[in-house]
Amino acid sequence: MELDFGAAVRDFRDELRDWLAEHLVGEFAAHRGVGGPTDGAAWEVRLAWDRELSAGNWLGISWPQEYGGRGLGLLEEIVFEYEYARANAPYRATGNALDLLGPMLLAMGSEEQKKRFLPPVLAVEELWGQGFSEPGAGSDLASVRTRAERDGDQWVVNGQKVWTSFGIHADWLYVLVRTDPDSQRHKGLSMLLVPADQPGVDIRPIRNLAGQDEFAEVFFSDARTGADMVVGEVGQGWRTAMGTLGIERGTTLLPQQLTFEREADALIELARERGALHDPMLRRRIVDAWISVRIMRTTNMRTVAELVAGRTPGAQSTTAKLYASTRHQQLGHLAMELAGPAGQIIGEDYELVTRQRSFLLSLAETIYGGSSEIQRNIIGEQLLGLPKDPRP
């Protein structure tokens, strides 16, 4: 997948390509493509790589210079993400803060919050975890029960969060809490910034199917944070959270796309090795997988073009997550089927090859970031104008 974003950013692209060629070497090159949004592999290597990116001033491309960014535009940021994925560099360990917290603070945070938290993010000095989902509030995020009560110049937090990505590494957590005890659903919520290193915060790892502990559950027992640690307005946390999730769904288009295309190419190569291309039914399924990643490419490029033009992305941006997650799972199932018995053999200490790890981790893609059931409701109600599901 080769894209030309035009003469306006060609110098920037060439500078980035030269830097990656010079610095993506040694241990970093040996870990090309390692990790992901739910893949904690080679964490220390990825953290070191993020510090290398920080030293080269490649983090926060579009963030204002007064907070440590480069002050460039959206197009340069898109070019960076594309070229970064094209080089198959390690997945950034600071992705949570760079892709979610930072844009949220830039859009809704106070000036004091921006000055306090954004520079350490870009310097890879502080890591962040997201405290949204709870045992009884996953895709139905409006049901959160973790509460925060005002005590003088502090907030006191009690409750539980779950599925906190890379939570065991977090120095800070941005947490959706209920600050109005009499409120229900979307009302009375607030977004708090809470330090993780304190007696009232207990973070416990959760091991996933791939044998990794990138998820965590977090227990708050009279944990405290300052009264000035509310992002946006008190009681308006739902609007802040939805803005953050909108950012999340818009930042992974090109890196995710290139990952899927590499997996489709590997699938075709595996089919050749296995002689499966002579089977007309398998050949048809392989062609279908190849077509699906090209459809994703076209859809993603439409969204990128609309963003660059300053327009609100069209309906395809709403359907993209559902399509990509379900098709990626089908791609993984087919790859494992083609691998045959070898696909079930793992290495020492549960060591997995790329194909196995991708297949196992893809099983969660139809759940996190909005389950497929929720996505279908959104598409049906907001895009197609169908009646809303009855509420109990």
Q: And the tokens for 259?
A: 């990952």
Please state, in angstroms and as integers, the Cα–Cα distance from residue 207 to each residue in 37, 163, 355, 380, following that order: 15, 10, 19, 34
Catalytic hit among 76, 248, 263, 365: 248
Residue 81: closest CA among 376, 231, 303: 303
- Do the beta carbons of residue 191 and residue 241 sit within 8 Å? yes
Handedness of CA 18, 22, 24, 30 (dihedral sign): positive
Please state, in angstroms and as integers, the Cα–Cα distance from residue 30 to each residue in 42, 47, 49, 84, following that order: 11, 15, 12, 16
Identity (one letter) of the amino acid at 8?
Answer: A
Residue 325: closest CA among 369, 283, 282: 369
Is 248 catalytic? The answer is yes
Angle between helix axes 74-86 and 280-308 (nearest 10 degrees) is 150
- Do the beta carbons of residue 62 and residue 70 sit within 8 Å? yes
Q: How far apart are CA 194 and CA 172, in angstroms?
A: 6
**Which residues contact residue 338 at a Cβ distance below 8 angstroms, ignoring those fewer than 6 apart?**
267, 270, 271, 274, 276, 282
Q: Which residues are catalytic?
A: 248
